[in-house]
Structure 1
């Protein structure tokens, strides 16, 4: 005999932070594509009071490419819901935000958007850890 189900019940919650992982994968890919573009473009020309100066951002581009790849992988791992994956993803996202703030003068709008999405992912991961800590 079937038992009747109550209508209006909430669906079962998943134990995996899928949205946070997806956001981290997306921002990691954006950082990687932007870093690739910086590597292909060469030097930047900056106008100042003393004239024109060439700025080579090759090191920063490689650093952003590496951190972007780490954030994307951490996002994929966070989706699995394994123990400690949220902590690693939070660390990678915080590192990406710090690097984005250092690169702010060169691409301010993109970096502010990426940093805001990373901060939202960190907030989601922290909320997930708090909820999972109460349940377990």
Structure 2
């Protein structure tokens, strides 16, 4: 009976790990696509961005667009690795999501509400990738 309970717990842990990894993969993919689009908008110098004259971390909008574009592409690529439950993708996913949180923090004056929304999405992604215990990983 104890062995059966242990196997049921292990199966439940594997299911949770798979579910959280899938959640992180989807969130990283969606947020990466959104950052990719925001990068394209900034490169095109669209008028949807707010300009703040006295911001400490002021960047050229075109340069900022390229940064967002490349980080968005990295997030998309890593999310595809997460769909295969690759261990490298979990580790790199945390790093890419952390970089994107920093990038979105620095771009708050240009697109404030969207930056805060993406910071929350990337925070949930990091949580989902880090909460699974080592012995319950699926790949």
**What TM-score does the superposition give when structure 1 sets the normalisation length?**
0.76
5 Å-filtered alignment, 1:8-47, equals 13=15, 15-16=17-18, 17-41=21-45, 46=51
Distance (whole Å) between structure 2 residues aligned to residue 47 and residue 14 of structure 1: 44
| TM-fit CA distance, 1:46 | 4.3
Matched, 1:68 2:72: yes
Larger radius of gyration: 1
Work out which of the residue numbers 124, 131, 134 in structure 1 matches 2:128: 124
1:40-59 paired onto structure 2 within 5 Å: 40-41=44-45, 46=51, 56-59=60-63
Q: Tell me which protein shows more helix as a share of its residues.
A: 2
How far did residue 36 of structure 1 move? 0.7
- Specify the alignment match of 1:135 in structure 2: 136
Moved over 4 A (4+): 9-12, 42-49
Higher relative contact order (CA 8 A, sep 6+): 2
| Match for residue 108 of structure 2 among 101, 104, 109 | 104
Contact 1:67/1:96, CA 8 A, preserved across alignment: yes
Any unmatched runs of 5+ in structure 1?
A: 1-8, 50-54
More strand by share: 1
Contact 1:15 1:81 in 2 (8 A): no
Q: Equivalent residue of 1:106, what SS? A: coil
Distance 1:121 1:42 in 2: 29
Cα-Cα RMSD: 2.7
